[in-house]
């Protein structure tokens, strides 16, 4: 991802961009030094989203912007109906809850930002829509793969939430669903922009 991002920055004529990896809550980056601190689909994975927003504020300069965007898994919707996709969502929510994170983070961002001590908070929502055959196929393949080979898949089995066989059935179900005529999937997101 870093090499892809670096190539994109070069192509875009932005040679002054530096990409780093690491936990943003324990970074050595200079405090209060960034105009914008943004986390996209990250807080939904954390046990401590409010503390994470506090850490983001610590990196933003006074008057800078802290922004976050997260999905809301329980609000995801699709057609046509699929028992496999319903089971996928049950498994995903159970694994996330077992990890102590909130897969419905999108709906909580305004509240979390207020709890993190931000005074000026703007909350909006938007969505990803997968409705063309190629978009549906891409999304379904992404989740079919993740359902059998990812930390999500490993944890589902380790936590006793699903068996390997069941995960394989769900993955097949994703591909079967994607081949249905007029398949469509909507991923709602909450978004927050707060002033540091
Ligand atoms: C759903 S992915 C989103 C990736 C990317 N931001 C995007 O929107 O395409 C979640 C990402 O959060 C990252 N992540 C989770 N906890 C993190 C932390 N404490 N510090 C930095 N990254 C974290 C994971 O490594 C993963 O890349």
Q: Are 135 and 141 in contact (CB under 8 A)?
A: no
SS3 of residue 117 by DSSP: coil
| 164 or 28, greater pLDDT | 164
**Any idea what the CATH number is for the domain that residue 141 is in?**
3.40.50
Domain interval for residue 178 = 2-195
For ligand 1, whether the C-beta of 119 sits within 6 Å is: no
Atom of ligand 1 minimally distant from the CA of 46? 16
Name the pTM for this structure.
0.95
Q: How far is the CA of 20 from the centre of ligand 1 (A)?
A: 12
For ligand 1, whether the C-beta of 195 sits within 6 Å is: no
Pairing mode of beta strands 34-40, 184-195: unpaired
* Angle (CA) 117 51 5, round 5°: 110
49-94: pLDDT as tens digits: 999 999 999 999 999 999 999 999 999 999 999 999 999 999 999 9
137-191: pLDDT as tens digits: 999 999 999 999 999 999 999 999 999 999 999 999 999 999 999 999 999 999 9
109-124: pLDDT as tens digits: 999 999 999 999 999 9
Number of domains in the chain: 1
Q: How far is the CA of 13 from the centre of ligand 1 (A)?
A: 25
Dihedral pair phi/psi, residue 170, rounded to 5° = -65, -40
């Amino acid at each position: 991802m870093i090499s892809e991002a670096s190539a994109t920055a070069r192509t875009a004529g932005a040679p002054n961009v530096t990409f780093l990896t690491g936990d943003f809550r324990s970074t050595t980056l200079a405090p209060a030094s960034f105009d914008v601190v943004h986390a996209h689909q990250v807080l939904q994975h954390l046990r401590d989203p409010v503390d994470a927003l506090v850490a983001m504020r610590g990196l933003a300069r006074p008057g800078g912007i802290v922004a976050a965007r997260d999905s809301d898994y329980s609000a995801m919707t699709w057609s046509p109906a699929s028992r496999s996709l319903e089971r996928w969502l049950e498994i995903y929510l159970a694994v996330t809850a077992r990890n102590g994170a909130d897969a419905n983070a999108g709906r909580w961002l305004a509240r979390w930002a207020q709890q993190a001590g931000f005074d000026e908070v703007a909350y909006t929502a938007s969505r990803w829509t997968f409705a063309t055959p190629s978009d549906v196929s891409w999304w379904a393949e992404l989740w079919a793969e993740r359902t059998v080979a990812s930390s999500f898949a490993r944890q589902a089995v380790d936590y006793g939430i699903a068996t390997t066989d069941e995960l394989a059935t769900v993955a097949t179900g994703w591909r079967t669903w994607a081949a249905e005529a007029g398949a469509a999937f909507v991923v709602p997101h909450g978004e927050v922009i707060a002033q540091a």
